[in-house]
Structure formats: C-alpha cells, structure tokens
Structure 1
C-alpha cells in the first residue's frame, strides 16, 4: 500500500507547484515602448553660463548652448546664445570651447524660435536628467513630452549610470559609439545620448 502511494506521488505532479515566472529585464520592458516612439525621439543637450556660488554673481544659470538630434532621421539643431549675465570665467574650460565662440551669440528669442520650429508636436525630448529642462524652463520654453535618459539607463543597468559617456559605454549593444558632430563638451554629450538611444533601441538578447 505504501509503495503504491509513493509511486502515485512520484508520477503525479504536485498540483500546488508552479514553475517560477521569468520576469522580463528592464531593457526588455523598455525596448518596445521606445520602439513605438522611435520616429519621435529627439536627443537634446544644453549647456549653461553658470557662476560658482562663491562668486556672488546674482541670478541663476542661463542657457548658453543648445544642441539636438532627431534619432530617426539624423536632423540636427545647434544654437549658441549670447550671455545675458557676466560670463563665468570657468565657462570656456567647462564647455571645452574657446572664449571667442561665445561672442555674437543668438538672442534667446531667436534661438528658441528656431528650436520650436525644429521640434514637432509629438516629439519626445530625450535628455540627461533635469538640468537641460530647467535651463529651458527658465527661458519660458516647456517641452510637453520628455524622456529622462538618465532614469532609463539606471533602470537597465540596475545602478547609478554615471554620466552620459559612462552610460553609453556600460549599456549592452554591439554598435560603435556615435562620434561628435559639433565641438566642445556638447558634442561629446549629444553623441553619447545618441549612443544611449542606440543601445536602448537594440533588442535585448533573447527577446
């Protein structure tokens, strides 16, 4: 009788046992969402004229350089703005551009009018953190649809992603990183954002 019960128990699966579900990775979750929006993704990077706190210069950091690239088509936007406050001495070093590049910049109104014409109503502005958005907000420009690539990279990596260049190197994907198409730190950053989008839009292994 006992032997018969043991044979029955071995042959019949436990009705209360369920094979554990394999949860999709964050990359696998994010990939189809971004793929649906692919035609509307625009990488955006902004640089500022920002004084150190101890400089005691009144006012907030102001938009000084704005670059963007439409992911699907490669269309590009670039604007250098005239400083409205005294130029911080650290700006050329931080932005990796000679001081002469900041002379004869565009007005805020002209630069943002061009940027508004570059964007389409259903575009998603893809930026690294909130700083570019804060600079645009301070000038009265509010993108309606935004994707924070820093948050997306952190989700996929499962940790702090570091800066854009570090995240571009750390994210999985076999394509070569993009090359800068404009000078200075903005060139490196917008190329890194493009590479991050390349990585996130590459189907994860096993998908």
Structure 2
C-alpha cells in the first residue's frame, strides 16, 4: 500500500477534531511500526480553518517559517512533517495542512503550488481518486480497515470499507472496488453531484 503523489484527502474545512483524525488516518494499517510509512503520508493535504492553523502555530516553535508557510518541529515518520500554509486564493485567505518530505528541497513549494492549482479550478469538481480519499477520510475507524488473511493474497493490506447495500445487508468491500453508485451513496449529499474531473 503506497500512495505518494500529491493528493487532496478531504473536502470541506476540517475543524480541530477532524484535523487530528486526518493527521493519522492510516492508524489502523497493518505492521504500523515495522517499516518506512513515508509514502502513505507524503503528499496528503487538506484545508483547515484559521483557528486550527493558528493553534498549530502556537503549540511549539516551528522548525522554520517561510512567508506563507511553516513546518512543525516534530516529524511524523522519517523526513515527513506537517507544513501549514496561509494562501490567498481567489481573493481570500485560506489555510491548509500538508505532509511534506523535507529531504526533498522543493517539497513544501511544490505542495503549495499544487494546492493553489487544485483550489483554483474554475469549476467545482472532484476526481475519482478524490472521491475515494474523502470517503476513507470521513469514515469512522469502526467502519474502515485493511484486507486481512481472509482476502486473496493480492488484496491483503488494501483499504476496506463497510457498505450498506439495502436488502443485501452490510458488506465489507475494497475501497478501490466501490462502484459509482456506491461512491455516491457514501459521499455527503453536497458532494454527490459534483462533476467528475479526470486527473491530469
């Protein structure tokens, strides 16, 4: 299970409770402490409110501050740490959290540019991958997990979610195998009918 490309993982502005849940949305992963999990977190980002942004700035002195961004002093894993941004997009200030790999010199700048590009789309839309990431981020731990020994070897370790299928009852499905109708059913109402944009 490796991700790594820059990706938006939650739609909406995360409040403090949601923000802390999103910080380690992979907490249930198998073999959590046994390897380098940098690729799971590298590139993840989501929007936060000004209060949450300022709260994180006040927790500890930042590792560094550069214009519209600051990095947290505590590293999540390896060279991955939280970077918070204050960005002016479409004439207003917005606030974001991202996991950047500080062993890559331009990682925070590339992340900033990717966030501005994504949030500047002229039409509000979601890619297929963003829909799946939002579902994973918004699903409570009791209703999501990872495929274990009962799954085929090729699927072990992949993300799973519980899906309520009406008369068919509740079933455990691979996140990546959700149909368009199942994805729509699991998204909040205000996100269900957004057009799908093909990832660049």
Normalising by the smaller structure, the TM-score range is under 0.3
Higher RCO (CA < 8 A, seq sep 6+)? 1
Structure having the higher Rg: 1
TM-score, L = length of structure 2 = 0.24
Higher normalized helix content (fraction of residues): 1
Higher normalized strand content (fraction of residues): 2
